[in-house]
Structure 1
Amino acid sequence: MAATHTGFGGLVRAWRDRLSPADAGLPVTSGRRAPGLRREELAQLAGLSVDYVLRLEQGRAKHPSAQVVGALARALQLSRPERDQLYRAAGLLPPRDGTVSTHVPAGVQRLAARLRDVPIGVFAADWTLVWWNAMWAALFGDPSAVPATERNLARAVFTGAAPPVRSERGDEAFALSLVADLKDAVSRYPLDARLDRLVRELRETSGAFARYWATETAAAVHSSERKTIKHPEVGDIQFDCDVLLVPGADLRMVTYTTAAGSADASKLDLLRVTGGRPVTAP
């Protein structure tokens, strides 16, 4: 469905009006005057303020950054041609072929939205988190509170900023798999400046990363494994962690599931209710 408005604000409004809240993983309540997303909901999905989205739609905010346009394109579940149209309407060049894509196809978002009881994070080829659901935020903390440049898993792991997660394979095996993935990404995206900066930064600041980078490693093979996450409110939760590859999009969908009826499932249910926030007595 093509948008009929060609200005940036008009495109955002038209695409907001066509996106079902259910497809965006939001609850559908009665009394909605329009079938599409509310402005507040788009702001929430894109990690932007409601006022800024309003000013963008009204044309009062000029020259949004590539980061903002990319966030809006993902939140609006645009196709690749529509995403490129939005970049051009903002006066920006669309992302080039040959660079790591942060585009999350609408079908992937709809699938993940329907699995709302499962913590799901979607990562680009360089292990940058580009999409997550409410359960992921409840488990790990809200990624929108972190600058977009800091939402990279490899950077978090090798700088000590990653959440407390224990893998049955051990921390070193997990770290080696991240390095192997980054090596593979560098070989396939040699023109990606962001990826190049990430690797150079980690080689300069992390002795472990530099050592692993100098080691001959095969491409990582991700299989289901048990992980234990220490949550500040509910304590340790054991999960089965799976990394699902998205063919044609070069994305990794990471899921955390628990066995039905287990104590771990009960803790996850509590996070679902509280959103991961502290529970205080009335």
Structure 2
Amino acid sequence: MKFAISYSAPYYGADPDRIIAFAKHAEACGFEGLYLPDHIALYPGAKVGNFEMPPTLPYPDPLDCLSFVAAATDRILLGTGVLLLPYRHPVVLAKRLATIDVLSRGRMRLLTVGLGTLPGEATATGVDFATRGRRTDEAIDVLRLLWSGGADGVSFDGEFFTFDSLVSFPKPHGVPQLPIHIGGSSRAAARRAGRRGDGYFPGGMLGPLERAGQLDLAKAEAIAAARDPAALEYTRWGSIDMPAERVEGLAAEGVTRIVIGSIDPEHLFDEMSRFAERFDLGT
């Protein structure tokens, strides 16, 4: 089992010293990766489910923040949970992600993308909320095409993106393409993970039967797309106080990575250290 951790800037703060201290401590503890959440813009009345989000929550750009973290660390992998892909142009994003990967010497490897749930965020970025699924599928294809293209360029003619003989450098560090994990809590997300993803990272508000059904669906879609279902990584959220029995249960469900979510801000480092000791992350 791999263990990563999420830095929830809206609750821990966007102070640069605190972010770097958190990242360095996570690396010293032995966590595999550090995840950052994403929102481009909030507004009064924005809700995720029944939770109304305070519009002043400080969401720094996750890619800028991860670049900043990469310069101060040596080993820890860089992740997003989740990057709102339909609201970013994939031609620009391909360059940004490859640049971070090169500058970090191959650590931009936990990219997780999702659709977003706030209609006002889509409107603000000029995206039709109803098309964001198709737009995401197309953007994933564009990212991979640009990363794999050579000096002669690549072309694409889709519903949302079109270009001819486009060349994008630098390339990811030492690999043809960056892994793209799919986040979400819907069956559509599970299907997308099977058809296009290198991994599936479902949300936290699902019952056990629905979770199992979604994982089965992702694997079935992978088979239908002539992809290897066994190669699909399966990431789940966990808690800082989770017992070994819970980890064993998740492993039995096929989970390959656990991401520790929000922790009491007043006891961040102590709780991270205790978790690392309990699961021998430093070994």
**Who wins on radius of gyration, i.e. which is larger?**
1
Whether TM exceeds 0.5 here: the answer is: no
Q: Give the TM-score of the pair, scaled to structure 1.
A: 0.23
Higher RCO by CA contacts (8 Å cutoff, separation 6 or greater): 2
Q: TM-score, normalised by structure 2?
A: 0.23
